[in-house]
């Protein structure tokens, strides 16, 4: 998939909806498309965060303390809170089906944020909403 296509995929993601075209292009530079089989664990509860994922196709299952919490479908995302706050993962995320995702590497994304700090500021309202939803699940 061309980087411009990554840009197009990111446009519809709520986390990035407030970004302008130049900012989306910067985020797209940190993205790589990957495919995984059903059953593949993408992140484990308690692990240190190094990346986030945007679902292009397929379904991810989110569990916390072994209990099903949610499914994440195409257009959804996982891992953004721990990645941006440098905290440990609050959930385990597993491919419930064969999945194609955009993998956003944490080190590369940190460089993007340094270059354009406004990106993080535009992401904060969505992150805050997700953190509030997560708190309600505890």
Q: What's the pTM value of the predicted model, to 2 decimals?
A: 0.84
pLDDT tens digits for range 19-57: 998 998 888 888 899 999 999 999 999 998 889 999 999
Question: Could you give the CA distance from residue 136 to residue 103 in angstroms, rounded to a whole number?
Answer: 27
Assess contact for 83 and 49: CB atoms under 8 A: yes
Q: What is the DSSP string of the chain?
A: --HHHHHHHHHT-GGGTT--HHHHHHHHHTEEEEEE-TT-EEE-TTSBP-EEEEEEES-EEEEETTEEEEEE-TT-EESHHHHHHTPBPSSEEEESS-EEEEEEEHHHHHHHHHH-THHHHHHHHHHHHHHHHHHHH-
Q: What are the two backbone dihedrals, phi and then psi, of residue 42, each rounded to the nearest 5 degrees? A: -90, -30
Please give the radius of gyration of the chain, using alpha carbons only, rounded to the nearest integer. 14
Question: 3-137: what CATH class?
Answer: mainly beta
Pick from 91, 23, 25: nearest CA to 53: 91
1 falls in which pLDDT band (50, 70, 90)?
very low
pLDDT tens digits for range 53-91: 999 999 999 999 999 999 999 988 998 876 677 788 889
List the chain domain ranges: 3-137
């Amino acid at each position: 998939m061309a980087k411009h296509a990554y840009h197009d995929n990111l446009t519809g993601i709520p986390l990035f909806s407030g970004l302008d075209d130049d900012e989306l292009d910067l985020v797209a530079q940190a993205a790589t498309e990957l495919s995984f089989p059903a059953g593949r664990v993408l992140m484990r509860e308690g692990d240190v965060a190094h990346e986030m994922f945007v679902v292009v196709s397929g379904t991810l299952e989110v569990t916390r303390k072994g209990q099903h919490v949610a499914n994440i479908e195409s257009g959804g995302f996982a891992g953004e809170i721990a990645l941006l706050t440098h905290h440990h993962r609050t959930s385990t995320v597993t491919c419930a089906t064969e999945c194609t995702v955009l993998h956003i590497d944490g080190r590369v994304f940190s460089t993007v944020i340094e270059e354009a700090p406004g990106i993080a500021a535009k992401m904060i309202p969505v992150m805050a909403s997700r953190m509030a939803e997560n708190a309600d699940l505890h």
